[in-house]
Amino acid sequence: MGLVDGVAADLMTPIEQAVARTRALRARLPAPHEAGALDFRGQVRLGAARVGTIWLRAEPTSLGGQPAWAVLESQVLATGASRVEMESTGVLAADLTLRRGGRVDKRPAGTGQLTYERARGGMRLVSRAQGRSTSTLLAAAPDASAGLVPVILMLKHAPATPAHYLLSGWDARFAGKPKAGSGSFAFQAADTHVQVLGEGPFVLDGARRPTLRADCTLRSGRRYTVHLDPRTRDLVAVVGTMPKTMYVAADAPGAAPDWYDAIEGKPATARQAFVKFGRGYHRPREDLLADAFHWPSLHAQALARERYPPGTAIDRIRKDWIDTFVGMSKHRTQGDCDDLLFQILMTSREVTHEDGSVSLHTLPVYGGHTYRMAERDGRWFIVAID
């Protein structure tokens, strides 16, 4: 009969085992000055496209005379006319418990800043935006950690054998009161389920190398796989499933995305067709909307689904669609528009069909629509929206 954290494993549920296993691993982590620093500077990619940079760092420090970690997660994304800078800093206890930290998000739509620190009953959050400051006490588990860096620090010392861990987490975006009917979801959305898979290959641009892999899933919906060097436990890559971005070495091949290159021209790919439509909708621009759709296909679809009476002219449908999108548009700036479009691209499910057409299934927060793109007469259009 096996023991987990001194308790008989067969007396515990799988989740209780994961919690106990994680607690035992965290308790025996080496002191930060013995463990050595983490310093990973790489590139952010979406598929083969280089879309930004990433810097993950953990350095030994002290807090209240006790060993601690000073951690940093800094990401810069540059796509189209958008530039987004996100930086999280924090101080973790030697067992990876979050003590205090902060986050700055600079987006085309504005800048937001948060600072937080342990307080009786949870975490004291101070939010600053548009010249105003608010202070709130939010729930936080006593051993909650925060971010990607503590997951990597824990995996550096985890056994290589397959096992399930559950790292308690905290994120200001999910730490408020849950919406009606959602139970305690908000308080647990940053908890990270870590499934060590053992050794396996990491493949990038056809090149393979052995790695120690761990699948990580947050209740918020984020999913990614951490790849470490099996011998040194140095970070090799973080491959996202949701969102689909990946962190790889800075010197890995990668070209700037071409998705924004055909906004004023003829789209040569499905993503170029989608971005052309997106600019037309969110700016808005009627000329781009008129050019983004394959109107004969939309006309046939509308009549087949009896959205219009038989014999309705294609010009009527074209006008109605364009007027609808212009009327719904929030008239975003170009940078804000491109930031939104990239968020959609990195979180949507993309499917290539047997006929060569491509469907983009977006999350509910982005409308929950399915956009179908296809090549017609030597260029790509949107041919259907569901």
Residue 128: band (very low, low, confident or very high) from pLDDT cuts 50, 70, 90: confident
Condensed to tens digits (0 to 9), the pLDDT of residues 301-310 reads 999 988 899 9
- pLDDT attached to residue 300: 94
Is the per-residue pLDDT at 60 higher than 70? yes
pTM: 0.91
- pLDDT attached to residue 127: 86
CB 198 within 8 A of CB 223: no
CB 126 within 8 A of CB 170: no
Distance CA 136, CA 306 (A): 52
Mean pLDDT calculated for residue range 79-94: 96
Residue 8: band (very low, low, confident or very high) from pLDDT cuts 50, 70, 90: low
- pLDDT attached to residue 172: 79
Burial (CB count within 10 angstroms: exposed 0-12, middle 13-18, buried 19+), residue 265: exposed
Condensed to tens digits (0 to 9), the pLDDT of residues 231-262 reads 999 999 999 999 999 999 999 988 999 999 99
What are 247's two structure tokens? Answer: 């962190």
- pLDDT attached to residue 182: 38
Condensed to tens digits (0 to 9), the pLDDT of residues 260-319 reads 999 999 999 999 999 999 999 999 999 999 999 999 999 999 999 888 999 999 999 999
- pLDDT attached to residue 176: 61
Rg (CA), the chain: 24
Phi and psi of 258, rounded to 5°? -105, 10
Residue 220: band (very low, low, confident or very high) from pLDDT cuts 50, 70, 90: confident
Is the per-residue pLDDT at 181 higher than 80? no
